[in-house]
């Protein structure tokens, strides 16, 4: 089943060296992440496949959605739930040919036009950002902010996941836009206690209406 949850964590071993992809996945399932995306641009294919197979097993056990960044072949081999594709990666339509309709394909958008394009090409969700200033990726453009996000959410027919500079401090403001969910990287991976940060993020997402 295609399940795209609200709390989305990207494993990143470039912005920090303390935790491996698998260690991140371990505290992610413990801390209540709904989606884990394996993102690594430097590992060899064989190492990436081994890591993906391990994380896929962990995610299956905990009913967490597991996506692979960029590498459709690795997602296939590891039987992940799907892929997340950037604008320079394999086009969504092409990836769909390999993955079939039951796997999740996420697209990346930095504008309404790009969001519409992803939707049109058959993406299951869109990652949109960056919402706030972030150090995880080099971003020459200005942050989009929550007003822009609200606009994207209202004009798109598939779930939008907000990304970029999201932390426990601002996640309520993000969710108030009506966005489906939020992706986090640095605020969790560089926090002194990633597990408690994740739990707090989860609480702030799901307890809003109480």
- 163: β partners: 129, 183
Report the run of H or E that residue 120 belongs to, with start and end.
helix 112-121
Per rule CB under 8 A, is residue 40 in the interface with another protein? Answer: no
Q: Strands 82-84 and 35-38, how do they pair?
A: unpaired
* Site size for another protein (CB under 8 A): 20
From residue 88 to residue 117, the character string flagging contacts with another protein as x (rule: CB under 8 A) and all else as - is: xxxx--xx-xx-------------------
- CB-neighbour burial class of residue 157 (10 A; exposed 0-12, middle 13-18, buried 19+): exposed
Point out which span in 72-80, 150-158, 178-186, 197-205 binds another protein (CB under 8 A): 72-80
DSSP 41-52: SSS-HHHHHHHH
Nearer to another protein, 45 or 154 (CB): 45
Residue 57 as a binder of another protein (CB under 8 A): the answer is no
Q: What is the DSSP letter of 132?
A: S
Q: How far is the CB of 120 from another protein (least distance, A)?
A: 17
Among 12, 40, 70, 81, the residue binding another protein under the rule CB under 8 A is: 70
Residue in 19, 60, 62, 76 binding another protein, rule: CB under 8 A: 76
């Amino acid at each position: 089943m295609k399940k795209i949850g609200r709390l989305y964590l990207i494993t990143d071993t470039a912005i920090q060296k303390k935790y491996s992809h698998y260690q991140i996945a371990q505290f992610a399932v413990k801390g209540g992440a709904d989606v884990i995306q394996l993102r690594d641009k430097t590992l060899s294919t064989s190492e990436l496949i081994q890591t993906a197979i391990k994380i896929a097993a962990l995610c299956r056990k905990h009913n967490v959605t597991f996506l692979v960044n960029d590498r459709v072949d690795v997602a296939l081999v590891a039987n992940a739930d799907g892929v997340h594709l950037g604008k320079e990666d394999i086009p969504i339509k092409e990836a769909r040919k390999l993955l079939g309709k039951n796997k999740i394909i996420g697209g990346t958008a930095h504008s309404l036009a790009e969001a519409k394009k992803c939707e049109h090409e058959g993406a299951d969700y869109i990652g949109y950002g960056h919402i706030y200033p972030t150090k995880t990726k080099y971003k020459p453009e200005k942050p989009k902010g929550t007003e822009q996000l609200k606009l994207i959410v209202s004009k798109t027919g598939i779930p939008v996941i907000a990304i970029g500079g999201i932390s426990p401090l601002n996640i309520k403001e993000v969710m108030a836009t009506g966005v489906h969910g939020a992706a986090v990287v640095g605020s969790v991976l560089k926090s002194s206690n990633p597990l408690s940060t994740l739990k707090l993020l989860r609480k702030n997402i799901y307890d809003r209406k109480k």
